[in-house]
Structure 1
Amino acid sequence: MDPLEELRRICLALPETTERLSHGEPTWFVRGKKTFVMYADHHHDDRLGFWCAAPPGAQQELVGEDPERFFRPPYVGHRGWLGVYLDIEVDWDEIAEIVTDAYRVIAPKSLMERLPEA
């Protein structure tokens, strides 16, 4: 399975999400304006992953629990964003939950109401 294609499928399934290149990488936006997920194809290191918005405390908790799967991304890590490695065995259901949480952090309430029940 191509990680980019699967991540794209998950992101674009969310209401009013668009994709375009930002800083040379595929990036997903809510209503074309606010970024919630950025692909990272060896962008600042030799790893494949993505960066995403995260609920308060999630970055610290997940990186602390499993630094082989999660990391603090450059540039946006200080804002609580989460980095997720995709060059290891991936649980795509978990990735879908992480992406949906990222969307919830960024999207306006009117769009969150359109999400399926968790």
Structure 2
Amino acid sequence: MATLDDLRRTADALPGSEERATTGGAAWFVRGKLYAWECHPWPSIPADVRAIIASELVVGVKIADGLDALALREMQPEVFLGATTAWGEPKVAFRMAGIDDDHLAELVTEAWRVQAPRYLRREFDETGR
């Protein structure tokens, strides 16, 4: 089971990544663009998803394409939640209890890639960090 500390370790290794405290919990940005966040049970979220978010740790990440989010939800519906809000699409939210460290690192890194400027992606690719 992955934790927020695991997410922090991955995010800390990404160039330009910055963690900020928000009203909903921790969130990670690259050059001012949100790429990963701790989900909060806002009233605008559908009741079934809101109940899950209120009872366990759920994280959201940006996704390159809405079809990728749909594929993740269909492959592991017990881990990847249905739509939360329309804001910030495409994105996907997942139960941290159902994610292993390697998959978390992949999701966070890809979310960072979606939001990071080209020069930071190039720096990461060239240095492996």
Q: TM-score, normalised by structure 1?
A: 0.84
Cα distance, 1:76 vs. partner? 4.8
Percentage of pairs with the same residue: 30
Q: 1:101 to 1:17 in 2, by over 3 A?
A: same
Q: Do the aligned partners of 1:69 and 1:85 also contact (CA within 8 Å) in 2?
A: yes
1:27 maps to what in 2? 27
1:111 maps to what in 2? 120
Number of aligned residues: 113
2:76 maps to what in 1? 66
**Pair member with larger Rg:** 2
- Give the number of the structure whose residues are more often strand, by fraction: 1
1:6 aligns with 2:6: yes
Describe the superposition over 1:10-29 as per-residue Cα deviations: whole angstroms up to 9, x where unpaired. Answer: 11110011111122310000
Runs of 4+ in 1 over 2 A off after TM superposition: 75-78
Q: 1:102 aligns with which of 108, 111, 114?
A: 111
Describe the superposition over 1:63-88 as per-residue Cα deviations: whole angstroms up to 9, x where unpaired. Answer: 01111111235225671201121123
Q: Do the aligned partners of 1:51 and 1:73 also contact (CA within 8 Å) in 2?
A: no
Higher relative contact order (CA 8 A, sep 6+): 2
Q: 1:82 to 1:17 in 2, by over 3 A?
A: same
Q: Do the aligned partners of 2:2 and 2:100 also contact (CA within 8 Å) in 1?
A: no
> Which segments of 5 or more consecutive residues in structure 1 lack a partner in the other structure?
none
2:35 maps to what in 1? 36
1:91 aligned partner, one-letter code: D
Instruction: Output the CA distance in 2 between the equivalents of 1:68 and 1:77.
Output: 23
- Give the number of the structure whose residues are more often helix, by fraction: 2
Q: CA RMSD in A?
A: 2.0
Q: TM-score, normalised by structure 2?
A: 0.78
